[in-house]
Structure 1
Amino acid sequence: MNKMKYLALLVMGPTLAFGGQESHVKNENMTKTDVHEEIYISKITDVTTPISKAKESFPLNFTQDVSKKFSTPNWQSAGDHGVFVNLNIPKFINVDIAMPTHDIRNLKRAINPDLKEITFTQEDGSETPKLEEYLGNDYNRVQAIIMAHKGKVVFEAYPGMNPSDFHVWMSASKTTVGTLCVLLESEGKMDLDKSIPFYAPELKGTAWDKVSVKNALNMASGLDLEETTAAFSDPNSWIEKFFASLFSQKEGGQWLDVLKNVQAIDGEEPGERFRYSTAITQALTMAIEGATGQTYKDVFNEKVWSKLGVQNQFMVGLTSDGTAVGGGLVNTTIEDALKYAMMFTPSWNVVSEQRVITPKVLERIRTLGDPAAYVGSEEEAYSLEWTGEKAERNSAQWDHIWADGGMFKHGNMHQGIYTDPERDFAAFVFSTSPNERSDKMPGYMRAVAKKVAGK
């Protein structure tokens, strides 16, 4: 089975509550069998097969059923219901919204028909199918992919959504949090060597006291909060409790109490080992808000979104107490997402009047992580599995940084952002694919970047 990384618990955990839906939370006496009986998990059926059906309106009785049976485990199991939720986040989760402020920068097209033939060499030495075949195979459940070189779109496909549709970024959202922290550092508003509680005083007196912003950015907290298959299979694990509280409308903000109660790992210091967790990004979101006295949405809008010639709004999902889930619930159209990715490339001026990601900021983002902490991690293994090339490090909330400067961040159900400044290339992908299916889109993105740049 492919190693799995989730934004939230899929099958073994409680039914979580959004928008007033009833919450079926396990008690200590419930067995795993009981849990399975409590949770409805939608399958992949002819409602969304082929995935192109998601381009049309869904039947009324289906949409009503999704609302009635909505839960985080059902949503993120990536069945029929998951497709609908990913395209309609504001129907299920309260969102904060930033509207466009600048004239639209319409991207020019220079479509290269040869790119549909691209393949890449996998970890085992075999060659992948051609990109066109991968996108046309409904097993992969890719909904949209867009790629740009030197400021022009060179490839785009919409197997399962319309270009104007909104879609959730999942953990590709985490790059926004990492970017904001480095931007705040460049402005003298955040010291990455300070502890998380220095900026998020709600966490003072807890295990977070020993975790610097830098170590949090690099997912090396030294805390027992890693998102692993084993942890998600244990109903009493800390990470299960965190996700249940983070998204439950009935919990009234108790996610913060759970965040305060996380414990340090015996014998492990912060900075020593990469351990992926959305809880870390949530703590960073709090630190951003504490350092600025503004909401995450307002900070991101001020420093990034308002600088872009986007066509549509930026939305981010909120917890029950109104705190942004900056590490997973960003929601935009795919072309606007690509414009964000292009800010990391030399073609930033195609989408913005201001260079937000300066060479100094970019270098800081790419080199903040410690390669030694990355060795032997699940993310290192993912980089090889997904692209056939082992990455050098993770850094500033990006999962994979290669020695040539290519950067990738993955999201649950196979979302992804890839930016390659040296090749002046950027790409974004949306998908609703079960996590146990191996994701090859990162490899195709990287192969296309090399092809169009000639290196």
Structure 2
Amino acid sequence: MRRAFKITFRILLVLVVSAASLGVWKREEIFRLLAVNSLFAEEKIVGNFSNMEGAFETTPLARGTKAISPLPQGGEMVLPAGTDQWLKDRAVTSLLILKDGQIRHESYHLGTAPNDRRISWSVAKSYLSALFGVLIDEGAIASLDDPVTKYVPSLKESAYDGASIRNVLNMASGVTFDEDYLDYDSDINRMGRVIALGGTLDEFTIDLKESFATPGDTWQYVSIDTHVIGMVVRGATGRDVPSLLSEKILSPLGLERDGYFITDGADVAFVLGGLNFTTRDFARFGQMIAQNGSYGGDQIVPADWIAESTRPSAPTADGKIGYGYQWWIPQGSHEGEFMARGVYGQYIYIDQTRNVVIMSTGADRKFREPGVNDGNIEMFRKLVSIL
């Protein structure tokens, strides 16, 4: 596979040189594809994750006109033994800990800074879940048991024909999709190249035809399910996800900076992992969720949706990590303990019973090694225990 990658890279390099000399109109797309191919390279990953607009098309997420909401400084906590080694081993780029809405610890690493807008990867899925809860409450979507094709007729005769909204929220669609980030030819990496070259995710999704299980029977984490949720939102409302998210979720939070979404060639947001915000602004979202959807005097997301979406309702295997509606529930969790999680070390860990939110970003190229996620959860629990 490494040899094939080198050959592919050389071909791309030739294309770039040719495009530069001939003035070919696809030059920008080729440069973006080259950027995607080196996105996770050891020497570039930290900088890339703070500058995703260099590899992809993007659309802004307006912070709105509300004054910046305070994140008051509480007493600085003493981090437990082993934290420094964990920060190094996991290539953590930022760590922000809130207790009762106050900052108890904030630090930035590997050359990152508070103003960096970091890519969240699959943490973005939990934002879409929150938006979905608002739309259900408003009546834009009638029922979680509606078939997705009710709102997205173009998915008829695709692998999603027969799947319900609940199935895709639970990652239980049964659709065949290879999520291996380390395999150059996997579906998830192929999808990334489609975006870089200006292709459309809707067409990519419609073209999926294979299933491995009946919808609702089996849990398997397939990120394309989240794109289908976005398609349902657009079909039900006639609006794009970024404008809805800005209006209904982001504006009431009083963010410090505008954020942005990665988009495909049709300017459709990469809702399954393309959200970029500062660490503090991610933490504001987490604090709102920890407070059952309430923030700054506003009920932003219905409290009953927070409760329903963060319980382990998906058909995951016994004794393994649980999953709700685009939220993870750690093994052995207590009531109100759940998290948003993205590849390479992105987390919003929430413990509602102790009113603690931990926001962590990273560039951990070893994130898939056995025990890494469990070790991160153990560290988060250790941090909570001393607050």
TM-score (norm 1): 0.73
The correspondence for 1:416, drawn from 339, 347, 352, is: 347
Compared CA separation, residues 228 and 86, structure 1 to 2 (3 A): closer
Change (3 A) 1:361 1:87: same
User: Does 1:442 find its partner at 2:377?
Assistant: yes
Alignment of 1:109-188 (within 5 A): 109-114=73-78, 116-117=79-80, 130-135=82-87, 137=88, 139-160=89-110, 161-188=112-139
Closer/same/farther in 2, CA of residues 74 and 33 from structure 1, 3 Å limit: same
Aligned counterpart, 2:316: 374
Measured at CA, do residues 81 and 329 of structure 1 come closer, stay the same or move farther in structure 2, by a change above 3 Å? same
Secondary structure (helix, strand or coil) at the match of 1:223 reads: coil
When the two structures are aligned, how many residues end up with a matched partner? 358
| 2-structure distance, mates of 1:362, 1:300 | 16
Distance, in Å, in 2 between the alignment partners of 1:97 and 1:338 is 19
Distance change (3 Å), C-alpha of 1:367 and 1:71: same
Counterpart residue number, 1:220: 172
Which whole-Å CA distance do the structure 2 matches of 1:187 and 1:173 have between them?
A: 22
Note the C-alpha offset of 1:245. 2.2
Deviation at 1:416, TM superposition (A): 1.1
Alignment of 1:10-29 (within 5 A): none
What residue is the counterpart of 1:433 in the other structure? 364
Residue 433 of structure 1 and its aligned partner are, at CA, apart by 1.5
Which residue of the other structure, out of 251, 262, 265, is the alignment partner of 2:211?
265
Q: CA deviation at 1:228?
A: 4.0
Match of 1:63 in 2: none
- Is there any run of 5+ residues in structure 1 with no aligned partner, and where? 1-11, 13-31, 41-66, 119-129, 381-390
CA distance in 2 between partners of 1:171 and 1:312 (Å) = 20
Match of 1:397 among 309, 322, 326: 326
Contact 1:218 1:368 in 2 (8 A): no
Residue by residue over 1:366-392, the C-alpha shift from the partner in whole angstroms, topping out at 9 and shown as x without a partner, is 23623xx21169xx3xxxxxxxxxx4x
Q: Deviations over 1:149-168 (max 9, x none)?
A: 11111122112311111111
Secondary structure of the corresponding residue to residue 113 of structure 1: coil
Supply the AA of the counterpart residue of 1:75: L
333-342 or 269-278, which moves further after superposition?
Answer: 269-278
Whole-angstrom CA distance in 2 between matches of 1:376 and 1:38: 42
CA RMSD in angstroms comes to 2.5
Following superposition, the deviation at residue 223 of structure 1 comes to 1.1
Contact 2:60–2:260 (8 Å) recurs in 1: yes
1:102 aligns with 2:52: no
Matches of 1:238 and 1:162 in 2, distance apart? 33
* Letter of the structure 2 residue corresponding to residue 173 of structure 1: A
Unpaired stretches in structure 2, ≥5 consecutive residues: 11-30
Deviations 1:224-271 (A, max 9, x none): 114147xx6483x6555444324422xx42x433312323435x2111
Per-residue deviation at 1:339? 0.2
Q: Is the 8 A contact 1:96 1:315 kept in 2?
A: yes
Is 1:93 the counterpart of 2:56? The answer is yes
CA distance, structure 2, for counterparts of residue 318 and residue 170 of structure 1: 13
Q: Give distance in 1, aligned partners of 2:334 and 2:175.
A: 28
Describe the SS at the equivalent of 2:268. Answer: coil
Aligned in 2, Cα 1:316/1:69: closer, same or farther, shift over 3 Å?
closer
Residues 14-63 of structure 1, C-alpha deviations (whole Å, 9 max, x = no match)? xxxxxxxxxxxxxxxxxx623333238xxxxxxxxxxxxxxxxxxxxxxx
Q: Secondary structure of the residue that 2:277 maps to in structure 1?
A: strand
Alpha-carbon distance, 1:216 to partner: 0.2
- Residues 343-383 of structure 1: CA distance to partner in whole angstroms, max 9, x if unpaired? 1123866x53312233212111123623xx21169xx3xxx
| Superposed CA offset, 1:384-422 (max 9, x none) | xxxxxxx4x201111325342211122121111112222
